[in-house]
Amino acid sequence: MKATLLSCALLLALTNCATSGDTDLDGGETDAAIKQDAAKVDAAKEAATSQCVPSCTTDDECSNSCPEVPNGVNCCDTSTGICYAYSSSVCPAPVQDAGFD
């Protein structure tokens, strides 16, 4: 049923045949509410693109560039150069490389 309604809505939108007397296909949402929802999605996308540094060497680089972690901190995995979220108030000490000895 939803697929049929979506297909009809798409067809009407593509052919520009919809008039103000047509059935309300968006569940009663006003244009303002739809635009507000779209703005929230755009803000979320923008927040997602304001990511951490591409490569890190210290925890400070991650804590200064990454989005805030609720109930945690941003840390740097120095062996890979990747920031990650850690669920504590202090980043763990780096693990020493055992090497091939």
What is the helix (H) or strand (E) element at residue 63, kind and residue range?
A: helix 59-65
For 13-70, what is each residue's pLDDT tens digit?
444 444 455 555 656 656 776 777 666 655 555 554 568 999 999 999 999 999 999 9
Neighbours of 18 (CB within 10 A): 14
Instruction: Give the CA dihedral 11, 14, 20, 25, nearest 10 degrees.
Output: 50
Neighbours of 83 (CB within 10 A): 22
DSSP label at 80? T
For 76-101, what is each residue's pLDDT tens digit?
999 999 999 999 999 998 777 767 76
Distance CA 74, CA 57 (A): 13
